[in-house]
Amino acid sequence: MSSPPAPIEYSEGRYRELIEAEARHWERSDFDPVNPQLWDDPELHGITLGAPHRHLVERAARHARVLELGCGDGDLSLEIAGRGARVTGLDVSEVRVVRAETEAAARGLGARATFRAADLNRVELPAGAFDCVVAHDALHHILELERLLDQVERTLVPGGALVVSDFVGAGRWEKLAFAIGYAALPTMMPYRTKWARRGRAKAFLASEEQKREAATQGTAPLDDSSPFEGVSQESIVSAIGRRFEVLETFTFCPLWYHLVPKLRIPGAGRRALLRLFRPIDSALHGARFTRGSYVFIEGRRR
């Protein structure tokens, strides 16, 4: 098992500037018609991410007291609460917390789901308060991942579960192939706009270490919308493995899947493309010729 990365040094002023920008980014996050994602199309989501998502919910919902890290608008928390658990959701954006509270009340789940704003890099979690901690697409945005996982370990009861589904990216050659495909193929974003935004390729191709250094030490983060995008994506698996007994883990959704919703072809064509190639990809994935850009991990506190 790899050793933890060296502690990050940065100024408090710099950090406050970045975390506030991160909160602003997520509170206005919505559908972008020129840059659609897999989760924007329910059918594409079902083909690629549906089964792992249901698995995540099933694992988390087995527990009575659940904490969600990075709850956003509360969708996952409310799905788990709807199965009978009591859920607490934390998110960096106060705006999104209000949205989650409003939706909980609308669904009649206000007594089972509570939400509050919290900076997950700095949060102090109560000892032994939860049976399960769940994180979906949250940990790769955490600058102080080692510290947060220390807090997760602290807040879980002995034998408690950590259930994670998160983006772990891809190797440099996979990223390069994706970037070339995105640049060359007709997408929802016009070629002229893609050319104007070509400077963003640097952030896409950067390693975790480069992203962390740019965020904390550089004049500007590599990603101008989400300063902490991908700052811990390569560390998630090893960081969890150092602290928890890993009961189940698998990767899914190779990087090229993320290109499909962006293609300028009819929606039925995008769905047919994924259905056509998915069995082939599954065979390659099983033979370890490809890997997923996402990982599922269920760990247990030792």
Cα separation, 39 vs 70, whole angstroms = 17
What CATH topology corresponds to 12-301? Rossmann fold (3.40.50)
Is 90:67 a contact under the CB 8 Å cutoff?
yes
Do 175 and 205 meet the contact criterion of CB atoms below 8 Å apart?
Answer: yes
How would you write the pLDDT of the chain (302 residues) with one tens digit per residue?
A: 567 766 777 888 889 989 999 999 998 867 889 999 999 999 999 999 999 999 999 999 999 999 999 999 999 999 999 999 999 999 999 999 999 999 999 999 999 999 999 999 999 999 999 999 999 999 999 999 999 999 999 999 999 999 999 999 988 888 999 999 999 999 999 999 999 988 888 888 888 888 888 888 876 666 667 889 999 999 999 999 999 999 999 999 999 999 999 999 999 999 999 999 888 888 877 777 777 899 999 999 99
Task: Domain ranges for the chain, please list them.
Answer: 12-301
- 128: region left, alpha or beta (phi > 0 left; psi from -120 to 50 alpha): left
pTM recorded for the entire structure: 0.93
Quote the DSSP letter at residue 215: H
Q: What would the two tokens of residue 293 be?
A: 């850009």
- Exposed, middle or buried by CB within 10 Å (0-12, 13-18, 19+), for 265? middle
**How far apart, in Å, do the first and last CA atoms of the chain sit?**
16
User: What is the reported pLDDT for 138?
Assistant: 97
Position 221 scores a pLDDT of: 65
